[in-house]
């Protein structure tokens, strides 16, 4: 019997060793395929001519938009950023989880001090478990008007897309152009307290398109051929405007968003809030020719001024039956875009997103948070002259979450202060609920219009399961707000209009296959509910991705504690982390 036991024990040990060898071999195989990509970004002023005028625009490596970075899931990026511009700058890798590498996240005065003119900083991070389309952009003042580019994450080597591989892939960056220095635009708005001037054009891959003056020659062309499929990686890099996107006479099959795959669905129109990405397959199934690709504003705020122009590119069949010289003369087929205020189309599109399979949504929550989001108006301070209070009725515009208007520190980053226990930089008392309950989407009393300035964070224990109700308000004006969370993806489990009602609206929660996103478009005069697990230590900004709103204070910070052991602890700050 003892001998039999020994044989059994020996075989079990051998099986265990064999399992370890397999696991090690698998890990080595993954590591062997993973690559480290080194890039150099030089931020500098570059002459850029658009709309008949040349401006000294801030660019990366002299390119507008900036360079496209292409990596595989599991790869590491090392990007040295050298600042040769006259402004402070940081780079944010929008949507990258930054597991334990919060020092590389990029928002100015949140995870780092800015890179001063003449300085440099090297961002180092590994992409873990993300595939699809993300992007990078400046996260300092309004520099991201021209400092941005695509970040494409392909499957690991040997893996494939969960859809037939397309013949081509084309990044489509939707941007916003001012016919002046955008930094001057935001500085003037900050000085006067009024809303900043709206943009003069939208762009597709840096070009306004042939509906604008002096723009026809540069109009961007997307190639396709009869019978082939092109994967369009659409990114809304505009500063302040959600955008509709269409291709004349062609259907779009949505297969991904924010670097997560989606259950495929077909649509004729996309709507992307600033910060959002959408991957779509387009088939060359129309008569050979030229077709307009077009984008214009979704303007949800009643009576608020906006840029009402339309940017275009051209989908061109390579087999189009015309000589090259005549092709340019033939007018592309035009498309009709939704009305500027077509919220019904936006809602139908938003409600179409699902994860491809059942997902592990936290079913129990440890932190049940309720954040009101929206605009406000500050009374004119007694020592300010009238020209500094040019908002409505002699006020200054503000924005807030739970009536706190976020103020960035100016002499150290929040993450440094949090990690090093430096007092006086922020407080950890951001309210879990609005200080006052009211009819959020009704006629709001003017006594509630003035938020309180503060640099406030909310502490989360490592591993806590978090639910946040993002409740839009009609203070000053209701609006669709693209809310972005740094360091995390989250499940959008429900959205709706009016005031969120926990007694009835929980019945709408999708805990089976909700979409995984990093930026949620909170409906105009409505709400969205998100859930995530706080498994990434650091200081993580939650903010509206309309840059005018973050300037006014529509932001807060989650302070996530370290867990247990090295793998649940933030890495040490890099030696070259910029000093304030």
Contact, 404 vs 380, CB < 8 A?
A: no
DSSP secondary structure letter of residue 111? T
Rounded CA-CA distance 207/508 in Å is: 42
pLDDT at 22 over 90: no
Q: 114: which 2 tokens?
A: 């800015």
Report if residue 102 sits inside a domain.
yes
Classify residue 81: in a domain, yes or no: yes
Which contiguous run of DSSP H or E holds residue 415? helix 414-420
pLDDT at position 172 over 70: yes
Question: Residue 158 belongs to what domain range?
Answer: 32-162
Q: Is residue 13 part of a domain?
A: no
User: Residue 328 has what pLDDT?
Assistant: 55
Instruction: Kindly state whether residues 187 and 306 are assigned to the same domain.
Output: yes
Residue position matching structure tokens 């979704």:
298
Does 324 reside within a domain?
yes
Do 520 and 468 fall into the same domain?
Answer: yes
CB 560 within 8 A of CB 462: yes
> Closest Cα partner for 233 from 97, 106, 48, 95?
95
Strand partners, 541: 557
Contact (Cβ atoms closer than 8 angstroms) between residue 351 and residue 322: no
Task: List pLDDT tens digits, range 109-162.
Answer: 999 999 999 999 999 999 999 999 999 999 999 999 999 999 999 999 999 999
Structure tokens at 226: 């009869």
CATH of the domain at 380: 2.60.40.420
pLDDT digits (tens, 9 = 90+) for 247-276: 999 999 999 999 999 999 999 999 999 999
Residue 183 is assigned to a structural domain of this protein: yes
The predicted structure's pLDDT at residue 303: 86
In the 8-state DSSP scheme, what is residue 89? B
Domain boundary (162, 192, 224) is at 162
Question: Do 118 and 170 belong to one domain?
Answer: no
Q: What ranges in 143-217 are assigned the alpha helix state H?
A: 182-192
> Same domain for 298 and 399?
no
Indicate left, alpha or beta for 269 from its phi (over 0: left) and psi (-120 to 50: alpha). beta
Joined together, the tokens standing for residue 198 give: 């709206």
pLDDT digit string, tens, across residues 331-341: 999 999 999 99
Q: Are residues 418 and 287 in the same domain?
A: no
- Is 96 within the bounds of a domain? yes
Contact call for residues 547 and 139 (beta carbons, < 8 A) = no
Distance, CA of 83 to CA of 165 (rounded, Å): 39
- Return the SS3 of 29: helix
User: Of 173, 185, 168, 164, which is closest to residue 68 (Cα–Cα)?
Assistant: 173
- DSSP output for 271-282: EE-TT-EEEEEE
What pLDDT does 447 receive? 80
Residues 154 and 172 in one domain: no
Same domain, 458 and 554: yes
Number of domains in the chain: 3
CB of 113 closer than 8 Å to CB of 579:
yes
Residues 128 and 169 in one domain: no
- Establish how many alpha carbons lie within 13 A of residue 273's alpha carbon, considering only the half-sphere containing its beta carbon: 26
Q: What is the pTM of this model?
A: 0.93
| 327 shares a domain with 182 | yes
End position of a domain, from candidates 292, 326, 354 = 354
What is the torsional sign of CA 447, 395, 410, 490? positive
Same domain for 129 and 199? no
User: Which domain-ending residue is among 331, 354, 377?
Assistant: 354
Q: For the purposes of burial, counting CB atoms within 10 Å of the CB of 313, is it exposed (0-12), middle (13-18) or buried (19 or more)?
A: buried
Alpha carbons 374 and 476: distance in angstroms, whole number:
8
Is residue 103 located within the same domain as residue 143? yes
Whether 8 maps to a domain, the answer reads: no
C-alpha distances (whole Å) from 182 to each of 38, 42, 62, 176, 310 are 30, 19, 17, 10, 20
Count of CB atoms situated within 10 Å of the CB of 34: 17
Q: How much is the mean pLDDT over the chain?
A: 93
User: How many C-alpha atoms does 178 have within 13 Å on its Cβ side?
Assistant: 23
Q: Are 490 and 460 part of one and the same domain?
A: yes
Q: Where are the alpha helices (DSSP H) in 280-391?
A: 324-327, 343-350
Confidence of residue 445 (pLDDT cuts 50, 70, 90): confident
| Domain-embedded: residue 303 | yes
Which position has the higher pLDDT, 567 or 329? Answer: 567
Distance CA 550, CA 537 (A): 23
């Amino acid at each position: 019997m003892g001998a039999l036991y020994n044989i059994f024990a020996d075989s079990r040990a051998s099986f265990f060793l064999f399992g370890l060898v397999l696991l090690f071999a698998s890990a080595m195989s993954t590591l062997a395929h993973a690559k480290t990509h080194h890039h150099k970004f030089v931020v500098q002023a570059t002459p850029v001519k658009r709309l008949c005028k040349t401006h000294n625009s801030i660019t990366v490596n002299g390119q507008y938009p900036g360079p496209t970075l292409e990596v595989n899931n599991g790869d590491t990026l090392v990007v040295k950023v050298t600042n040769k511009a006259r402004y402070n700058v940081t780079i944010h890798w929008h949507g990258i989880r930054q597991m334990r590498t919060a020092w590389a996240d990029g928002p100015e005065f949140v995870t780092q001090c800015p890179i001063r003119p003449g300085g440099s900083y090297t961002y180092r991070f590994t992409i873990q478990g993300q595939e699809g389309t993300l992007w990078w952009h400046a996260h300092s003042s309004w520099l991201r008007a021209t400092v941005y580019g695509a970040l494409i994450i392909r499957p690991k080597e040997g893996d494939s897309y969960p859809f037939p591989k397309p013949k081509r892939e084309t990044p489509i960056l939707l941007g916003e152009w001012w016919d002046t220095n955008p930094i001057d635009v935001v500085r003037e708005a900050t000085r006067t307290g009024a809303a900043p001037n709206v943009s003069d054009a939208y762009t597709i891959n840096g070009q306004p398109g042939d509906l604008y003056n002096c723009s026809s020659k540069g109009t961007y062309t997307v190639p396709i051929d009869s019978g082939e499929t092109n994967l369009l990686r659409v990114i809304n890099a505009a500063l302040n405007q959600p955008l509709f996107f269409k291709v004349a006479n062609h259907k779009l099959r949505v297969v991904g968003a924010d670097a997560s795959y989606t259950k495929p669905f077909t649509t004729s129109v996309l709507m992307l809030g600033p910060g959002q990405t959408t991957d779509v397959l387009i088939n060359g199934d129309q008569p050979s020719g030229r077709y307009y690709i077009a984008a214009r504003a979704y303007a949800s705020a009643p009576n608020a001024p906006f840029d009402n122009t339309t940017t275009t590119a051209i989908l061109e069949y390579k087999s189009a039956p015309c000589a090259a010289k005549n092709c340019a003369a033939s007018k592309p087929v035009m498309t009709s875009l939704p009305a500027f205020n077509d919220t019904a189309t936006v809602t139908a599109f938003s409600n179409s997103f699902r994860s491809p399979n059942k997902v592990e949504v936290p079913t129990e929550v440890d932190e049940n948070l309720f954040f009101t989001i929206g605009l406000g108006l500050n009374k004119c301070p007694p020592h300010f002259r009238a020209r500094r209070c040019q908002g409505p009725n002699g006020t200054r515009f503000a924005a807030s979450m739970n009536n706190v208007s976020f103020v960035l520190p100016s002499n150290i980053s929040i993450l440094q202060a949090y990690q090093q226990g430096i007092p006086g930089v922020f407080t950890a008392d951001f309210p879990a609920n609005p200080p006052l309950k009211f009819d959020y989407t009704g006629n709001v009393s003017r006594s509630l219009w003035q938020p309180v300035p503060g640099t406030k964070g909310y502490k989360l224990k490592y591993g806590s399961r978090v639910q946040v109700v993002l409740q839009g308000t009609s203070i000053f004006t209701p609006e669709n707000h693209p809310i972005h969370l740094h360091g995390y993806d989250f499940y959008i489990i429900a959205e709706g209009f009016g005031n969120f009602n926990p007694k009835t609206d929980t019945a709408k929660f999708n805990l089976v296959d909700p979409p995984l996103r990093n930026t949620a478009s909170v409906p105009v005069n409505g709400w969205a509910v998100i859930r995530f697990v706080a498994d990434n230590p650091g200081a993580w900004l939650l903010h509206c991705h309309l840059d005018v709103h973050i300037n006014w204070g529509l932001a807060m910070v989650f302070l996530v504690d370290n867990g247990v052991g090295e793998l649940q602890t933030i890495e040490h700050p890099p030696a070259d982390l910029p000093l304030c």
